[in-house]
Chain A
Amino acid sequence: MTVVPQAATLPQAGRIRSTADFYLTTMRLAVQEQFQYRTANYFFMFGMVAEPVIYLVVWTTIADQQGGSVQGFTAGYFAAYYIVWTLVRNMNIVFGAPYWEQRIREGDLAGALVRPLHPLHYDIAYFAGWKVVVIALWIPLAIGLALVFDPTLDPRPLEIAVFAVAIWGAYLLRTMFQSTLGMLCFWTTRGAAIFDLWMTLELLLSGRLVPLPLMPDWVQTISWFLPFQWAFYFPIESLVGDLSDAELARGLAFQLLWILIGLSLFKVAWRSAIRHFSAVGG
Chain B
Amino acid sequence: MEHAVHISGLEKIFMVPEREAGLVAATKSLVRRQSREVRAVDGISFDIAPGEVVGFLGPNGAGKTTTLKMLSGLLYPTGGEARILGHAPSKREKAFLRRITLVMGNRNQLQWDLPALDSYELNRAIYRIPRADFTPMRDDLIELLDVGDLVRKPVRQLSLGERMKVEIVGALLHRPQVLFLDEPTIGLDVTMQKRIRSFVATYNERHGATVLLTSHYMADVQALCKRVVVIHHGRILFDGPLTGLADQFAAYKTIGVALADGHVDLDRYGEVLHRDGDWVTLRVPKAETSQVTARLLSEQSVLDLRIEDTPIEDVIELVFAQARSE
- A interface residue numbers (CB < 8 A to B): 1-7, 9-13, 15, 18, 21-22, 25-26, 29, 32-33, 36-37, 107, 110-111, 113-117, 275, 277-279, 281-282
Given the known interface contacts A115-B126, A116-B94, A279-B69, the answer about A6 and B51 at a Cβ–Cβ threshold of 8 Å is: yes
**Residues from chain A with Cβ under 8 Å of B99 in the complex:** 9
Residue contact A10 to B114, C-beta cutoff 8 Å:
no
Residue contact A6 to B50, C-beta cutoff 8 Å:
yes
Bound Cα distance from A274 to B9, whole angstroms: 23
Give the interface size bracket for B toward A: 35 or more
**Residues from chain A with Cβ under 8 Å of B101 in the complex:** 114
Bound Cα distance from A33 to B110, whole angstroms: 13
The number of inter-chain residue pairs (CB within 8 angstroms) is: 136
Closest to B40 in A: A281
Residue contact A7 to B177, C-beta cutoff 8 Å:
yes
Closest to A37 in B: B113
Given the known interface contacts A7-B206, A9-B98, A33-B114, the answer about A282 and B107 at a Cβ–Cβ threshold of 8 Å is: no
Cβ distance B29 to chain A, nearest Cβ, rounded Å: 15
Bound Cα distance from A138 to B286, whole angstroms: 78
Cβ distance A38 to chain B, nearest Cβ, rounded Å: 13
**Residues from chain B with Cβ under 8 Å of A282 in the complex:** 60-66
Residue contact B75 to A278, C-beta cutoff 8 Å:
yes
- B interface residue numbers (CB < 8 A to A): 4, 12, 14, 40, 49-52, 60-66, 69, 72-76, 92, 94-95, 97-102, 104, 107, 109, 111, 113-114, 118, 121-122, 124-130, 133-134, 137, 174-177, 204-210, 226-227
**Residues from chain B with Cβ under 8 Å of A281 in the complex:** 12, 14, 40, 63, 65-66, 69, 75
Cβ distance A188 to chain B, nearest Cβ, rounded Å: 12
Bound Cα distance from A135 to B104, whole angstroms: 38
In-complex Cβ contact of A114 among B100, B130, B206 (8 A):
B100
Residue contact B128 to A7, C-beta cutoff 8 Å:
no
Residue contact B129 to A7, C-beta cutoff 8 Å:
no
In-complex Cβ contact of B97 among A15, A25, A116 (8 A):
A116
Residue contact A11 to B130, C-beta cutoff 8 Å:
yes
In-complex Cβ contact of A278 among B14, B114, B118, B210 (8 A):
B14
Bound Cα distance from A116 to B95, whole angstroms: 8
**Residues from chain B with Cβ under 8 Å of A6 in the complex:** 4, 50-51, 177, 207-210
In-complex Cβ contact of A107 among B12, B104, B118, B130 (8 A):
B104
**Residues from chain B with Cβ under 8 Å of A2 in the complex:** 51-52, 226
**Residues from chain A with Cβ under 8 Å of B133 in the complex:** 10-11
Closest to A24 in B: B125
In-complex Cβ contact of A7 among B75, B104, B127, B207 (8 A):
B207
**Residues from chain A with Cβ under 8 Å of B122 in the complex:** 25-26, 29
